[in-house]
Chain A
Amino acid sequence: MKQEARAPSEKRGGGQNTFSYYPGCALKSSAREYDISARLCCESLGIELRELADWTCCGASSAHATSDVLAVALPGKDLHAASEAGYPLVTACAMCFSRLKIAAHETADMATRTLAGDVSGNIVPVMHLLEVIDSRLASLVPNKGLAGLKVACFYGCLLVRPKAVAIDDAENPQVMDRLMRTIGAEPMPWAFKTECCGAGLPLARPDIVRRLSHRILLSAAAVGADCVAVACPECHANLDMHQAGMGGKHGGEVRVPVVYFTQLLGLSLGFSPYELHLDRHMVDPLPALSSKGLA
């Protein structure tokens, strides 16, 4: 490993404003609006995101189901690149976050490190975008931007499990709720924050995805949420895309818009719904937003 690649220590830990950014595949395709809104918000908040050069697949779903070594080696390559760059690595995708942070955690163990090749003896912190923004909540001027909007914050599974890499409590996480409260929205207390949305099953067993996601949406509707905010492209796909097929024998139809937390943050920062690509969702959030005078 090259010596100059070691990050100067002042670039580490909290406080700094430059991050290596790992978008991941979904944010470059089906979840482009997440990528775009995340970058807009960060820019506006003075957070510099430098896209990691030559990033590769984090291995989500396939790699860790195939091989223990690959599960660490694939994200390990990105961790190595991030160490060379010297900035903390931030990602907005919950799956990428999970793979990268687990790899960072496991490579702390020498045996794994030897197996997976030289990952880098000097691993930069891996963070989810929610954590980065949460650490700057104080500098985010509290505003009434989203006043009146009732939001059900949905965390899914990967941000809060397993404990070693979790960003918050697994049962009743608060980090997104805090952000929503800061920007004037009303985070609803509800019991389905970290339930399973069906994860990677939409092609193989869409019935299971619909059943599980349906329960989540019904519960969000029951507490009176205007929309569900997510921080994971897979949760978004399952909750949003599959909504049309839900209901039927599993109970009533449900129509709840599902948006990325960065899109709501972007609205409060003054971006237009179109800049934030709020029109890209299957369940149109614009009527709900405009009824609150937000779009």
Chain B
Amino acid sequence: MFVCHCGTNIAGVVDIARVVEAAKRMPQVVYVSDNKYTCSDPGQGSIKNAIGEHKLDRVVVSACSPRMHEKTFRKAVAQAGLNPYMLEIANIREHDSWVHAFDKEGATAKAIELVRLAVAKVSRDAQLHARQIGLTKRALVIGGGIAGIQAALDIANSGHEVVVVEREATIGGRMAQVDKTFPTLDCSACILSPKMVELSSHPRVTLLTYAEVVSVKGFLGNFEVEIRQKARKVDHASCTGCGTCWQKCPEKVKSDFDLGLGERTAIYIPFPQAVPPKPVIDLESCRYMKYLAFTASGAEGKKPPQCRICEKLCPTGSIDWEQKDKILTEKFGAIVVATGFKTFDHSAYGEYGAGAYPDVITGLQLERMMSASGPTGGEVRRPSDGAHPKTVVFVSCVGSRDEAKGRAYCSKVCCMYIAKHAIMLKEHDPEVQSFVFYIDIRAGGKGYEEFVRRAQEEYGAIYLRGRVSKIYQEGRKLKVLGEDSLIGRPVEIDADLVVLATGIEPSTGVVDLAQRLSISYDTDRFLVEAHPKLRPVETQTDGVFLAGVCIGPKDIPETVAQGSAAAAKVAALFSQEYITTDPMTATVDLMKCTGCMLCAQVCPFKAIGSQTMRDGKVLANVNESLCKGCGLCAAACRGKAIDLRGFTNQQLLAEVTSLWQ
């Protein structure tokens, strides 16, 4: 038994001498000493010495919280030759001296009780042994935006295999849609495309585009994942990406990549620099698919045309109408989730026309228009009549910082991209006058504040602090009514184009994915990190990591940093030959278990499954690699068949009864 003063942290309140005296009289205690700082080198030394000298077989340290130094003391005990789990800590600092600083008498009495509990528990400690399990050194990255690309490249470059699953027909994510990037105005495609190509040609990377994760089983180091490769109706092994098919396909539909501003064909690549540069057939718009659906339905009337022009023209015969969705089952040791975001649907804003005015567009649509490979060839034109707008109004915080729309959070990148847009518009056409309605300008970041000032001072953007209350069409103009809250007056602007800075929200389907992976999401559906400050790219599920905007709004530099951070975590994991598991897990006493499986229902980590015994009985079975030792199952078990190693029912009972002995 070692009682720690912790300087004056404990000794200033608790009468250590009395605790030592009391401990000496407790059953089974053969040796008691006190120390100014037990965690210090000499402190730990005194524990090791005492173990040898007095042949101690178990140890209690009365000191600070086990969260602080349990590991330290376990190691010390182990170095002296004991099983590291033959140690208990009585927390007489956080639980006592710190909270009872004004009641020394009471605090001393409580310290003695806490020590008594620990003694009762330690005498029933069993030797526990950590298990080692193997791991598959192969990572899965879900989402091929810049976060996923960066994570995959870093993992691959550290020598491990990576599979990237991207559900769209190309990797690149939202960054591929952006034209220039703040605050340096370098072209997004120019810095992204090389990374996309590097990823697709990396020997250790397998790229699965047009694919989705269907199910995830297993645990840290040993995940088994089912992936659906959606039918592309094009054999990518033989396709050369020559482009004949998408140049000749007669069926045109609105392009999602260009956010409805431009058109694409039914067989398409989303944009010229797409990776892989090979097409997919959109089953909903393809004429032949419509023909097949029509004949299959047995409907009367004129049949749609059979078309099949792509098939006739394809020089390599790569069109494969028989191709079906395929399910691949793969093993991974770690998973990085990088599913990014979509922008808020502004049809919720009736006051801004609920999406009905063609010349009220979103920031991302403006990016597409400014892009040289975009639907207008880089010219900014009004969707309604193709005219070049001269007066442009920006509205910030549409679907951000607006609790009435259920979006209380800040989308973080909008203030910056509005400033970027104001600058770019002026560079495209010096006659453009931009007005920016804002709540606050959030420009924290290297060179960011200076960038916004440039938009205002050099590019003449007029910033008005206030919200826009209404937008309506008046002839060819859009009337924008708002308030300049700095001068306290209403403002009216006749605009040619209004750009709504629609907020950032998590990608569709992220909740399903999170549930499949057993990771948490918050009320806004952003994924939750294991610790918001100290473990920003880990999750509560070991082996599953996060990166990018799926955690919360952020810009490209931050996203890339997180991609690399997640990769570093994966590489560190893969640098081990084995995974050592904590032995403090639940165990099932098969003689008592009735197989009611209530434990499986309460387990938050899906660690309890069933096993069929030789006599056909189905009983509970704990997967020790998944078990976190939370004890919920032990509390729920009606027949007391489940026990938690290190916290057995017997130990807890002994602690409690020690209080009145």
Instruction: Determine if A192 and B472 form an interchain contact, defined as CB atoms under 8 angstroms apart.
Output: yes
CB within 8 Å of B: which of A230-281? none
Contact of B470 among A169, A189, A191 (CB under 8 A): A191
> Can you list, as one digit per residue, whether each of A180-200 has a CB less than 8 Å from chain B (1) or not (0)?
000000000111100000000
User: For the side of the interface on A, what is the size category?
Assistant: 10 to 19
Interface string of B346-378 (1 = CB under 8 A from A): 000111011010000000000000000000000
CB under 8 Å from chain A, chain B span 472-511: 472-474
Q: Which residues of A contact B470 (CB under 8 A)?
A: 191
B404 to chain A: which residues have CB within 8 Å? 163
Tell me if A191 and B473 are in contact (CB < 8 A).
yes
Alpha-carbon separation in the docked complex, A52 to B38 (Å)? 82
> B349: which of A163, A171, A191 is its contact (CB, 8 Å)?
A171
Q: Does A204 contact B (CB under 8 A)?
A: no
A141 interface residue per 8 A CB criterion: no
Q: Bound state CA distance, A190 and B473, in angstroms?
A: 9
Q: A191-B473, A219-B472 are in contact. Are A169 and B356 (CB under 8 A)?
A: no
On A, residues with C-beta under 8 Å from B are: 163, 169-172, 189-192, 219, 222
CA A163 to CA B405, docked complex, whole Å: 12
B472–A172 contact, CB under 8 A? no
Do A222 and B354 touch (CB < 8 A)? no
Hey, which bits of chain B sit against chain A, CB under 8 A?
349-351, 353-354, 356, 404, 470-474
Whole-angstrom distance between the Cβ of A281 and the nearest chain B Cβ:
26
Given the complex, which residues of A lie within 8 Å of B473, measured CB to CB? 191
Which 10 pairs, one residue from A and one from B, show the smallest C-beta to C-beta distance? A171-B350, A172-B350, A191-B472, A171-B351, A172-B354, A169-B350, A189-B356, A191-B470, A171-B349, A222-B474
For A170, the chain B residues whose CB sits under 8 A away are 350
Bound form: Cα–Cα A189–B472 in Å: 11
Question: Chain B residues with Cβ under 8 A from A190's Cβ?
Answer: 472
| Residues of chain A contacted by B349 (CB below 8 angstroms) | 171
Q: Is the interface of A mostly helix, strand, loop or mixed?
A: loop
Q: How distant is B395 from chain A, measured CB to nearest CB, in Å?
A: 14
Alpha-carbon gap, A222 to B479, bound state (A): 13
Q: How far is the CB of A173 from chain B (nearest CB, A)?
A: 8
Given contacts A171-B351, A172-B354, A191-B353, 15 further A-B contacts (CB under 8 A): A169-B350, A170-B350, A171-B349, A171-B350, A171-B354, A172-B350, A172-B351, A189-B356, A190-B472, A191-B470, A191-B471, A191-B473, A192-B472, A219-B472, A222-B474
- How far, in whole Å, are A175 and B384 apart by their CA atoms in the complex? 29
Which B residues touch A189, using CB under 8 A?
A: 356
User: What are 20 A-to-B residue pairs whose CB atoms are below 8 Å?
Assistant: A163-B404, A169-B350, A170-B350, A171-B349, A171-B350, A171-B351, A171-B354, A172-B350, A172-B351, A172-B354, A189-B356, A190-B472, A191-B353, A191-B470, A191-B471, A191-B472, A191-B473, A192-B472, A219-B472, A222-B474
Question: Cα distance A191–B474 when bound, in Å?
Answer: 10
Complex Cα–Cα for A190 and B474 (A): 10
| Bound complex: CA A243 to CA B543 (Å) | 71
Least CB distance from A17 to B in Å reads 33
Report how far A170 CA is from B404 CA in the complex, Å. Answer: 11
Closest Cβ of chain B to A254, distance in Å, is 15
Residues of chain B contacted by A163 (CB below 8 angstroms): 404
Closest to A171 in B: B350
Cα-based distance from A170 to B405 in the complex (angstroms): 12
Q: In whole Å, how far is A60's beta carbon from the nearest beta carbon of chain B? A: 25
Q: How far is the CB of A186 from chain B (nearest CB, A)?
A: 16
Give complex CA distance A209, B632 in Å: 67
Please report the C-alpha to C-alpha distance between residue A189 and residue B354 in the assembled complex, in whole angstroms.
11
Question: What residues of chain A lie closer than 8 Å to B472, measured between beta carbons?
Answer: 190-192, 219
Q: Which residues of B contact A192 (CB under 8 A)?
A: 472
**What are the residues of chain A within 8 A of B356 when measuring CB–CB?**
189
Chain A residue at minimum C-beta to C-beta distance from B349 = A171
Q: Most B CB atoms within 10 A — which of A171, A219, A222?
A: A171
Name the residue on A nearest B347 (C-beta): A172
A172 to B352, CA, bound (A): 10
Residue in B closest to A163 when the chains form the complex, CB atoms = B404
Cα A192 to Cα B471 in complex, Å, equals: 10
Q: How far is the CA of A191 from the CA of B353 in the complex (A)?
A: 7
A172: chain B residues within 8 A (beta carbon): 350-351, 354
Q: Report the Cα distance A192→B473, complex, angstroms.
A: 11
A3 to B354, CA, bound (A): 49
User: For residue A191, which residues in chain B have a CB less than 8 angstroms away from its CB?
Assistant: 353, 470-473
Q: A169 contacts which chain B residues (CB < 8 A)?
A: 350
Q: Which residue of A lies closest to B470 (CB)?
A: A191
Most buried by B among A163, A172, A190, A191: A191
**Closest partner residue, chain A, to B354 (CB atom):** A172
Closest to A190 in B: B472
Chain B's closest residue to A191 (CB) is B472
* Chain A: CB-nearest residue to B473: A191
* B353 to chain A: closest residue by CB: A191
Task: Tell me the complex Cα distance, A169–B349, Å.
Answer: 10
Contacts of A219 in B (CB 8 A): 472
Most B CB within 10 A of own CB, among A172, A189, A190 = A172
Q: How far is the CA of A219 from the CA of B470 in the complex (A)?
A: 14
- For B354, the chain A residues whose CB sits under 8 A away are 171-172
